[in-house]
Amino acid sequence: MDRPYPDTPDGRYFVVRGRLWRATNPALPPDRREALVKDLMAARSEVGRARRTGDRAALARAGAAVDAAKVALGERGPVWWTDGSPDQNRRMARNTPYAEWYAGLGLAS
C-alpha cells in the first residue's frame, strides 16, 4: 500500500510523527479488507455526528463500531503475526527494536 508514512521493514507498523501504528493484516483477502475499511469509515463518520450532536449513547455505539472494525483489520487486539514478537503499537519508534532503522531514515527529531 502506498502511503506517505514509512512502513517498518517487517511491514507490521507504519510511523507517523515518530510513533508506530499497527498496519492492517496483510493476509486479509482484498474484498474483506475493503468491506472492513468501509465499515471503519462509516463508524468514524458516526463518531463525528454523535460528537456534533452531543449524543453520548450514539458516540459510545460508534466508538465500539470503530474498535470492532480496527480489531477485524488487525490494527488492534491480538497481533496478526505468529513469531511471538511483542506488540509495539503506539510506542515511539526510538524506544523500540525499530530505533536503529527509524534513526536511519533521517526523520527523527
* pLDDT tens digit sequence for 32-89: 999 999 999 999 999 999 999 999 999 999 999 999 999 999 999 999 999 999 999 9
In a domain, 83, yes or no: no
pTM of the model: 0.88
66 and 97 share one domain: no
In a domain, 80, yes or no: no
User: How confident is residue 4, by pLDDT bands cut at 50, 70 and 90?
Assistant: confident
In a domain, 50, yes or no: yes
In a domain, 78, yes or no: no
12 and 35 share one domain: no
In a domain, 37, yes or no: yes
The per-residue pLDDT for 20 is 98
In a domain, 64, yes or no: yes
Secondary element (H or E) of residue 30: helix 30-53
- The answer to whether residues 87 and 81 touch, using CB atoms and an 8 Å cutoff, is no
- Structural domain boundaries enclosing 11: 1-28+89-109
In a domain, 82, yes or no: no
Report the domain count for the chain. 2
Cα of first residue to Cα of last residue in the chain, in angstroms, is: 26
In a domain, 33, yes or no: yes
